[in-house]
Amino acid sequence: MPIERPVSFHSHSPALLRTDSNLPDTPNSPPDEPSQPAQPSQPAETIPPSEAMQPAASTPSGDPTAVDPHADKYNDPRVHFGARAWLGVVAVLVGATLFTFASIYARRTRLVETTRFWGKPTIEALQLGDHVMLLPLEGSDFEPVELTAFPGLGHLRKALLDERHYDWATETDGGIAEFCKETDEVECVRLEFSDPTLKRFPKARIDLELNHGVVGPADQSRRVRVNDRVRPALKYQIGLLEQVKQESYDNRE
């Protein structure tokens, strides 16, 4: 039986030592390029935290919402100021005008009933009288006081002028002098309003009973009560005026 000899592949066998250098050059194969040396790697650029927190600047061709996320909501051409919006503006203006006139009317001094009760000369004296005297009557004990330029005199004028400060259902004949004689624990005073410089109206005299809130002209023809809200304020105001010393007005600058 014949023995098969193994085939050995020796490194010096010319049939097996075919390298790229021994291969024939093909017409389409490019020549070998020289190898480039490896470039050293560049370190990563570090971004400061302050710059990292800032939004990227928008460019003309970029998205404007990159800087302002609500930029597309401003001056949106799709939004139209139509008839409904104009009606809303007109409604607001009309409402504001009506509210203003209503406020002025509510705060305005009403003089219809007070003019009937006091008479026009007394109303003019209350409004324009620059010389005012406070005089004691039944149940009062103080020296006559001049109230000209007194700081609280305007509140006293307002209290006597406005018709809403009176309870007109209590109007009756007879003056304050009669009431003070018939009633116990009374405190009666008199106010005198005059215009000695221009003499635009005659001297006006008003009598007041402070404990019960009754007022009337000095001619004793009629009287009426002020309402419950004005009565304590009127008594408090007159009480302050009674405590004013005449010397403080004579020596004022």
Q: What is the pLDDT of residues 54-79, one digit of tens each?
A: 554 444 455 554 567 776 666 666 66
- C-alpha to C-alpha distance for 176 and 135, rounded to whole angstroms: 14
Contact (Cβ atoms closer than 8 angstroms) between residue 190 and residue 206: yes
Looking at the structure of the chain, the number of domains it has is: 1
Give the pLDDT confidence score for residue 37 in this predicted structure.
Answer: 55
- Note whether residue 195 is domain-resident: yes
Contact call for residues 203 and 131 (beta carbons, < 8 A): no
pLDDT at res. 74: 66
**Residue 74 lies inside a defined structural domain of this protein:** no
Q: What pTM did the predictor assign? A: 0.60
Q: Is residue 40 part of a domain?
A: no
For the chain, give the mean pLDDT.
Answer: 78
Residue 192 lies in a domain: yes
Cα-to-chain-centroid distance, residue 56 = 41
For residue 15, name the pLDDT band (cuts at 50, 70, 90): very low
Q: What is the amino acid identity at position 211?
A: N
Q: Is residue 55 part of a domain?
A: no
Amino acid identity at 102: A
Domain assignment present for residue 95? The answer is no
- 163: in domain: yes
Q: Do 131 and 193 touch, CB atoms closer than 8 A?
A: yes
- 131: number of Cβ within 10 Å: 16
Which range of residues forms the domain containing residue 222?
113-250
Specify the pLDDT at position 5: 54
Q: How confident is the model at residue 243 (pLDDT cuts 50, 70, 90)?
A: confident
Instruction: Give the pLDDT confidence of 127-179 residue by residue, as tens digits.
Output: 999 899 999 998 888 889 998 878 878 889 999 999 999 999 999 999 999 99
* Entry field: residues in the chain: 253
Q: Please name the residue ranges forming H helices in the chain.
A: 49-53, 83-107, 112-118, 120-128, 153-161, 176-182, 230-242, 246-250
Evaluate whether residue 232 is within a structural domain.
yes
Range among 19-23, 46-50, 149-153 with highest mean pLDDT value:
149-153
- The CATH number of whichever domain residue 121 belongs to comes to 2.60.40
CB 139 within 8 A of CB 180: yes
